[in-house]
Structure 1
Amino acid sequence: MIGKWPTNSNSNNTGAAVEQKASQWLQQQGLKFIAANYHCKAGEIDIIMRDNEHLVFVEVRYRRQNSFGDGLDSVDWRKQKKLSKAAAFYLLEHPHYNNLPCRFDVIAARPDGHATLHWTWIKDAFTV
């Protein structure tokens, strides 16, 4: 899964740019955008999408290098717990989604060395 990546992006905008590209890519895969950068006292959810009957909470990870593991490795049990709590807050604030099954996906991006990003999408990455 490859997507175009600007070579001149600065580090301050990298995370936001990767999240935006991930959202666009997911929409190309048929998911419907609901929200981005949802913040609450429990934490943040990068992207919230709808995939048919599922409400999908997406964590986006970016690593320039794999020397400390890839982005998928960084979604440990602590991060999963934070995401779960933030999702619960979202559902409290948006009760019209309470009838949908929820799913937690992780998308990891890394540069491939040719001004593009390589995407790894893990659907239903963890359960709570």
Structure 2
Amino acid sequence: MAFKPLNKRKLGQQYEALAERYLRAQGLLPVTRNFQCRSGEIDLIMRDGEFWVFVEVKYRHQHQYGTAVEAVTWRKQQKLKRAALFWLNKQGLSAEQCAIRFDIVAIQGSEHHIEWLTNTLVEG
């Protein structure tokens, strides 16, 4: 599937839509896309059984600046965590009282190879 050349924002939305379709095919249910707050942005929020799943979607055409997975740095993970906690609070939920997970969907190359990493946020 070839994507038309667009601005970065629109291109990112196309990859997020691709990731969402992939995750739906794996049985996850979409909740919202592109949640933004002062703490950061969450590309996709989905449900996987009892889990609230906060998904970071990354695309890299080439490896010269690292892989798509490597682009999700510790700093980016911390922003995602803060945004997720804010979203949960806004929904009247608490991270201590519900099951949450942080996943990465990495899309690589012109063939759009998808790699799905689950439960990626590790404290410490």
Could you tell me the TM-score, scaled by structure 2's length? 0.90
Paired position in structure 2 for 1:54: 51
Q: 1:59 to 1:11 in 2, by over 3 A?
A: same
* Ranges in structure 1 where 5+ consecutive residues have no aligned partner: none
Q: 1:119 is matched with which residue: 96, 102, 114? A: 114
**1:97-124 CA-partner distances (Å, limit 9, x unpaired):** 7542110000100234xxx311010001
Q: 1:38 to 1:110 in 2, by over 3 A?
A: same
Q: Find runs of 4+ consecutive structure 1 residues off by over 2 angstroms.
A: 96-100
Higher normalized contact order (CA 8 Å, seq sep 6+, divided by chain length): 1
Structure 1 residue 53: Cα displacement: 0.9
**1:23-69 CA-partner distances (Å, limit 9, x unpaired):** 01100100000000000110100000000011000000001111111
Structure 1 residue 10: Cα displacement: 1.1
Q: How far apart in 2 are the matches of 1:127 and 1:50?
A: 20
Q: Percent of pairs identical after alignment? A: 38
SS in 1 for 2:66: coil
Paired position in structure 1 for 2:2: 6
Q: How far apart in 2 are the matches of 1:50 and 1:100?
A: 12
What letter is aligned with 2:106? A
Could you tell me the TM-score, scaled by structure 1's length? 0.87
Structure 1 residue 74: Cα displacement: 1.1
* Conservation of the 8 A alpha-carbon contact between 1:42 and 1:85: yes
Structure 1 residue 96: Cα displacement: 4.6
